[in-house]
Structure 1
Amino acid sequence: MARDGKRKAPVKAESHGSPDDGDDASGEDDEDVEQPRAPTIEDWKRQIEVEVQQAIPGALRMCVSNAKKQKHDLMKHTIEGVTAARNLAPLAKEHSMPLVDRLKQLTKEYALINGHIGAFDSKLTDLERTLQAGPGPQSFNGLLDMSAFHVADDVLSKHEYIKQFDAAAGIEREDEDDEDVMVQESNSVRSMSCPITQMLMTEPMRNLDCGHTYSRVGIESHLKHKQSCPVAGCRKRVGNLERDVDMEVLIANRSKATALPRHGGATAVDTDDDDDDQEEHVVE
């Protein structure tokens, strides 16, 4: 008992809990936190659908691009067939007119194929623009359908292929005029020399903006310095280039024609061919 007559209040000892007590408390708090829900099959399906929809436009653009590239190979085979029929026309006329008629019918079929390729390429271009503008159409049914494609016979008879065949076979045409003759003559003497390298073209590329054709190595070197067309007097820019399959066929036919005299030992042609085989050099 204290001297002042007051009793001291008992001091309550502090309680030091064990570490296990704190873990129990935190464990109770963890139980209150909502655990993330495991994805279900439907969640995975939706995620896959989103990824597929995002990938489809790019895949379709690649398919369209590949299809448009194949157009040039198809056009090249068509032009080769037309050229072969036209070259045979004078010889066929000397022996059999029915053979000339069959060659002309074959040329008409090539002209029809040419139109079919052009119409299909137009549909591909429209689809390409649609894919570039947005996610693409919901349905592709009928977008590339060519079943309705048709060319009337009177329209087909005025095709450039038919006009060239008739001219080669010596067949007179009622609709032929001086302008048609000039066009045919300009096509027959079309220059196969690159305006940049001044050599026989290799891998000819045509400028869609102005129609001029250059060798690939020449135009690629030219574009490193200038964007304008290298042909004198042309003010167009070199923007869209594509394979010039017409020029490819012209060059191939020339190579075949100049190679034939070699079997006879002609030296003049040999010398000319050696010049054509030289490596192209850019002349600016």
Structure 2
Amino acid sequence: MDAELEANIQQALPSALKMALYAAKKQHLELLKYTIEGVDSLCNNAAFLKDLEDREHIQQLDETAKDFALLETQLTRYKTQLEKLEPLVESGRLDQPRIDKLLKDAMAKPRINATKHDFYKKFCDRAGVRCPQKLSFNSLERDVEMEVIIARSHHASGQQRSQAAAAMDEDEDDDEEYVVE
């Protein structure tokens, strides 16, 4: 009886997973639609507050615009994970560890630079706020690495010069030792 039940579950599982995947894709599109509508509403409010010169509320909307940028990034990641999941569901090679990993990856909060996101740029434009240009973490990390490389090369070339000078001094000392009077 248990073997028959297990066989029925295994037979029904691929179609059930396909239905769940379809529902997740539909959910993604709905969330994206509501996110875009939210950004549009936020931008309209920002334009209204700009006309009233209400900087305090514009600052609060600024934080909300950054949150919308983060949300859209998370939705994009979610869609990517769904796309990775689809061939596994189609082939029937989906197992629990893969599902857990995909869920963990999709739920992780991404680090983003909101100032480079289209939603935030649109908000800044409508609010009449100058969009700040922050350094991204990657470019900052790259700059630090370059500084370290340059410092090491200067240090190494300084050491080479001092070693060369020391070698020349030794040569001079050697010359003095072999001078016959």
**Shorter-chain TM-score range:** 0.5 to 0.7
| CA distance in structure 1 between the aligned counterparts of 2:62 and 2:101, rounded to whole angstroms | 33
Contact 2:124/2:130 (8 A) holds in 1: yes
Which residue among 100, 118, 125 is the counterpart of 1:141? 100
Report which structure shows greater RCO (CA 8 Å, sep ≥6): 2
Aligned to 2:28: 71
How far did residue 142 of structure 1 move?
A: 2.8
Whether 1:102 and 2:60 are equivalent positions in the alignment is yes
Contact 1:124/1:144 (8 A) holds in 2: no
Partner amino acid, structure 1, of 2:103: L
Could you list the per-position Cα deviations for residues 120-153 of structure 1 after superposition, in whole angstroms to 9, with x for gaps in the alignment? 111111111111123422543232123433223x
- Structure 1 runs of 4+ aligned residues shifted over 3 Å read none
Partner amino acid, structure 1, of 2:100: N
| CA distance in structure 2 between the aligned counterparts of 1:88 and 1:101, rounded to whole angstroms | 12
How far did residue 169 of structure 1 move?
A: 1.5
Aligned length: 130
Which residue among 136, 150, 159 is the counterpart of 2:110? 150
| CA distance in structure 2 between the aligned counterparts of 1:63 and 1:174, rounded to whole angstroms | 41
| CA distance in structure 2 between the aligned counterparts of 1:85 and 1:138, rounded to whole angstroms | 40
Partner amino acid, structure 1, of 2:126: A
Identity of aligned residues (%): 31
Whether 1:165 and 2:165 are equivalent positions in the alignment is no
Partner amino acid, structure 2, of 1:45: D
| CA distance in structure 2 between the aligned counterparts of 1:86 and 1:123, rounded to whole angstroms | 30
How far did residue 173 of structure 1 move?
A: 3.5
How far did residue 174 of structure 1 move?
A: 5.8
Could you list the per-position Cα deviations for residues 70-102 of structure 1 after superposition, in whole angstroms to 9, with x for gaps in the alignment? 111111111111111111112212231011111
Say which one has the larger Rg: 1
In structure 1, the gaps of 5 or more residues are 1-43, 176-284
Aligned to 2:39: 82
- Relative to the length of structure 2, the TM-score reads 0.65
Give the aligned CA root-mean-square deviation in angstroms.
1.7
Contact 1:57/1:135 (8 A) holds in 2: no
Measured at CA, do residues 174 and 49 of structure 1 come closer, stay the same or move farther in structure 2, by a change above 3 Å?
A: closer
